[in-house]
């Protein structure tokens, strides 16, 4: 017994050492840029200068920025949930062609960079876009469509259509598990169909709706590029205010103030999401298996057809417009526009030939950031898993799990400039790699930790009974089983970093131009066809990696 206890204590001691080392590394990597940013804002500028810069900002300016941030986030979330709920109901109830494609749209917010979606909506919903031309044709020239993109509701529209697939995917996953017995019991008590839904289904569905709404709200709350393009005439969010304070005013103190306010509200959102996630998990455990899907009949087919047509027109249409415009070569003097590879040729052979350089820069910088994020995320995920298996929730586990919410609670500008202040000679490329890695590693960690916790412990115990040590059992059984999940998480990290335009824009990169930066520059110069060509390359790059990620998850 003593030797057994001693062996357990030794294993527990090793676990604590591993957790401590991982904690120090992750704390240093994740919190160092935050400390550097705060130090530069407070100490670097001097206390008197900091107080003067903060005193020059009126409270109404901060209040207006906060109000606009919350208003557009709430409106965008409400519209996204409103669009996603019918799709979630259809996906949870019926078997129909295109169902998997509908659920696969949840990948769009992750594998399609925001700048690419912005370009798609400009081409489709802009004053001279495809949708605008259609409405002008239907309504006549007297009532010509003027476009609504560059307005508050245009911003809300882009946010909602960009994020509603998240609601479809998450809500339908819970809706499928709610048994019909809950609603049938209400009907037997005399309730009509609406009342039966309100009492037998909606209470169980609300945690899933709230969780999806909270996640969408945070994405819209921290939205930067979309607000920068579409919201400039109507208002400024906290994220855009941070960018302006750093890039145009060189006022780190003001940026720090905005970021503290932003992080405070983000933490409230994260607390809400965490609570809803726990309630959703309890519901899933109570309901067990998901129910069988049925074929739509009668009016259900009509509703399904209407929803599908609306998706094709309003959501798929903008994405298809990128492909069309990428191959449509604008008319030259005295000529007519035609379809071909002219836009790609200009980017490959024209002035400065920026496409190949941008691809190399994206693969080099984003690949390095994804590799760094994968290493940090795997270490953190394994550390959390080992700590839980040790028999007690170690303090380090709580900190590592809390750090996994950092990308959703802190402005990317703070990470970017924090690492810029830390990097030798303020090297922008090094700051970019480190900042993107900090943003991406928690997604890897959560994926690895979830994969490890889902393993069947009997496999490990079988290896132990055959004489394998705990370390050997972990390396030969656990790690081999989760390898596809690790590969999938690495691919997801690359998709995040390769499509990120926020950090490069905030750092003001000029010597090195990534694909998202090239796409942003071409769009700003109204070179839409060439921007579509570059965007198609970027979309294919991130889309293929995300597709391989999904395949790896299926294998796992």
Confidence of residue 82 (pLDDT cuts 50, 70, 90): very high
Give the lowest-confidence range in 119-123, 129-133, 277-281, 511-515: 277-281
Instruction: Answer yes or no: are the C-beta atoms of 245 and 233 closer than 8 Å.
Output: no
* Beta bridge partners of residue 94, listed in sequence order: 294
Q: What is the pLDDT of residues 252-309, one digit of tens each?
A: 888 888 898 999 988 888 888 877 777 766 666 656 556 677 788 888 889 989 998 9
For 328, the enclosing helix (H) or strand (E) is strand 328-329
Q: What is the pLDDT of residues 362-378, one digit of tens each?
A: 889 988 999 999 888 88
At 10 the three-state DSSP class reads: helix
Q: In 3-state terms, the chain is what percent helix, strand and coil (to 5)?
A: 80, 0, 20
Instruction: Answer yes or no: are the C-beta atoms of 542 and 498 closer than 8 Å.
Output: yes
The residue count of the chain comes to 556
pLDDT at position 524, please? Answer: 83
Residues 495-502: what's their mean pLDDT?
A: 85
At 329 the three-state DSSP class reads: strand
Question: Has residue 2 got a pLDDT over 50?
Answer: no
User: pLDDT higher for 334 or 299?
Assistant: 299
pLDDT at position 204, please? Answer: 79
Three-point CA angle 28, 29, 33, nearest 5°:
90
220 Cβ contact partners less than 8 Å away, ≥ 6 residues apart: 72, 73, 76, 77, 159, 163
Confidence of residue 234 (pLDDT cuts 50, 70, 90): confident
By the 10 Å C-beta count (0-12 exposed, 13-18 middle, 19+ buried), 202 is classed as: middle
pLDDT at position 460, please? Answer: 59
pLDDT at position 391, please? Answer: 54
Instruction: Answer yes or no: are the C-beta atoms of 114 and 226 closer than 8 Å.
Output: yes
Confidence of residue 244 (pLDDT cuts 50, 70, 90): confident
Nearest to 35 by CA among 392, 354, 410: 410
Q: What is 231-249 written as a DSSP string?
A: STTT---HHHHHHHHHHTS
Distance between CA 81 and CA 172 in Å, rounded?
A: 12
User: pLDDT higher for 362 or 334?
Assistant: 362
400 Cβ contact partners less than 8 Å away, ≥ 6 residues apart: 19, 22, 23, 26, 380, 383, 384, 445
User: pLDDT higher for 363 or 53?
Assistant: 363
End-to-end CA distance of the chain: 38
Q: What is 22-44 written as a DSSP string?
A: HHHHHHHHHHHHHHHHHHIIIII
User: pLDDT higher for 54 or 512?
Assistant: 512
Residues 31-51: what's their mean pLDDT?
A: 74
Round the CA-based radius of gyration of the chain to a whole number and report it.
25
How many other CB atoms sit within 10 Å of the CB of residue 490?
Answer: 23
Question: Has residue 408 got a pLDDT over 60?
Answer: yes
Quick one: tokens of 161?
Answer: 């259509």
Q: What is the number of alpha carbons within 13 Å of residue 486 lying toward its C-beta?
A: 17
Residues 105-131: what's their mean pLDDT?
A: 80
Q: What is the pLDDT of residues 124-175, one digit of tens each?
A: 888 778 887 777 777 665 555 556 777 888 889 889 888 898 888 888 888 8
Question: Has residue 333 got a pLDDT over 60?
Answer: no
pLDDT at position 295, please? Answer: 82
pLDDT at position 520, please? Answer: 86
pLDDT at position 8, please? Answer: 44
Domains of the chain: 1-56+343-556 (1.10.3720.10), 58-340 (1.10.3720.10)
Distance between CA 380 and CA 26 in Å, rounded?
A: 8
Distance between CA 269 and CA 220 in Å, rounded?
A: 12
Question: Has residue 1 got a pLDDT over 50?
Answer: no
Question: Has residue 43 got a pLDDT over 50?
Answer: yes
525 Cβ contact partners less than 8 Å away, ≥ 6 residues apart: none
pLDDT at position 69, please? Answer: 92
Question: Has residue 111 got a pLDDT over 90?
Answer: no
Give the lowest-confidence range in 65-79, 388-402, 513-527: 388-402
Q: What is the pLDDT of residues 415-456, one digit of tens each?
A: 988 898 888 777 788 888 999 999 888 888 887 877 777 666
For 428, the enclosing helix (H) or strand (E) is helix 428-453
pLDDT at position 73, please? Answer: 92
Distance between CA 556 and CA 550 in Å, rounded?
A: 10
Instruction: Answer yes or no: are the C-beta atoms of 29 and 433 closer than 8 Å.
Output: no
Distance between CA 262 and CA 412 in Å, rounded?
A: 11
User: pLDDT higher for 37 or 132?
Assistant: 37
Q: Maximum Cα–Cα distance for the chain, whole Å?
A: 93
Q: What is the pLDDT of residues 459-469, one digit of tens each?
A: 656 655 655 55
At 477 the three-state DSSP class reads: helix
Residues 199-222: what's their mean pLDDT?
A: 84
pLDDT at position 454, please? Answer: 67
Distance between CA 160 and CA 226 in Å, rounded?
A: 12
| DSSP 8-state code for residue 314 | I
């Amino acid at each position: 017994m003593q030797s057994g206890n001693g062996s357990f204590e030794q294993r527990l001691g090793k676990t604590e050492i591993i957790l401590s080392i991982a904690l120090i590394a992750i704390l240093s990597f994740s919190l160092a840029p935050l400390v550097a940013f705060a130090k530069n804002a407070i100490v670097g500028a001097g206390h008197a200068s900091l107080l003067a810069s903060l005193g020059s900002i009126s409270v109404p300016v901060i209040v207006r920025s906060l109000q606009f941030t919350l208003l557009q986030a709430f409106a965008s979330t409400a519209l996204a949930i409103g669009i996603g709920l019918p799709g979630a109901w259809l996906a949870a109830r019926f078997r129909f062609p295109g169902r998997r494609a509908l659920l696969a749209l949840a990948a769009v917010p992750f594998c399609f960079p925001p700048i690419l979606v912005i370009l798609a909506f400009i081409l489709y919903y802009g004053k001279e876009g495809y949708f605008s031309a259609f409405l002008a044709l239907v309504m006549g020239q007297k009532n010509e469509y003027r476009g609504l993109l560059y307005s508050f509701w245009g911003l809300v529209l882009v946010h909602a259509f960009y994020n509603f697939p998240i609601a479809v995917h998450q809500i339908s996953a819970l809706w499928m598990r709610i048994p019909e017995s809950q609603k049938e019991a209400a009907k037997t008590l005399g309730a009509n169909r609406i009342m039966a839904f309100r009492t037998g289904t909606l209470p169980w569905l609300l945690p899933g709706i709230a969780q999806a709404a909270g996640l969408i709200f945070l994405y819209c709350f921290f939205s930067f590029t979309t607000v920068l393009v579409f919201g400039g005439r109507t208002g400024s969010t906290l994220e855009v205010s941070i960018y302006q304070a750093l890039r145009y005013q060189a006022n780190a103190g003001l940026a720090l103030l905005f970021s503290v306010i932003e992080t405070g509200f983000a933490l409230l959102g994260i607390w809400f999401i965490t609570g809803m996630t726990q309630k959703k998990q309890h519901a899933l455990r109570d309901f067990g298996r998901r129910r069988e899907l049925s074929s739509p009949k009668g009016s259900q087919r009509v509703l399904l057809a209407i929803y599908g047509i609306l998706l094709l027109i309003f959501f798929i249409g903008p994405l298809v417009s990128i492909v069309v415009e990428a191959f449509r070569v604008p008319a030259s003097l005295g000529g007519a526009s035609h379809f071909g590879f002219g836009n790609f040729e200009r980017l490959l052979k024209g002035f400065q030939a920026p496409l190949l350089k941008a691809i190399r820069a994206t693969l080099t910088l984003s690949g390095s950031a994804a590799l760094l994020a994968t290493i940090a995320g795997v270490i953190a995920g394994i550390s959390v898993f080992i700590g839980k298996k040790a028999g007690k929730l170690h303090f380090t586990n709580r900190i590592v799990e809390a750090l996994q919410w950092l990308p959703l609670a802190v402005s990317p500008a703070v990470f970017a400039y924090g690492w810029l202040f830390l990097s030798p000679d303020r090297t922008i490329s090094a700051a970019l790699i480190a900042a993107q890695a900090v943003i991406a590693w928690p997604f890897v960690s959560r994926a690895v930790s979830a994969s490890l916790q889902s393993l069947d412990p009997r496999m490990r115990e079988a290896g132990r009974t055959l004489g394998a040590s705990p370390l050997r059992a972990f390396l030969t059984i656990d790690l081999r089983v989760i390898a596809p999940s690790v590969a999938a998480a690495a691919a997801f990290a690359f998709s995040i970093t390769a499509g990120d335009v926020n950090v490069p824009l905030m750092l003001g990169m000029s010597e090195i131009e990534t694909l998202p930066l090239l796409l942003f520059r071409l769009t700003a110069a109204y070179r839409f066809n060439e921007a579509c060509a570059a965007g198609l390359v970027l979309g294919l790059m991130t889309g293929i990696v995300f597709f391989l990620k999904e395949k790896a998850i299926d294998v796992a």
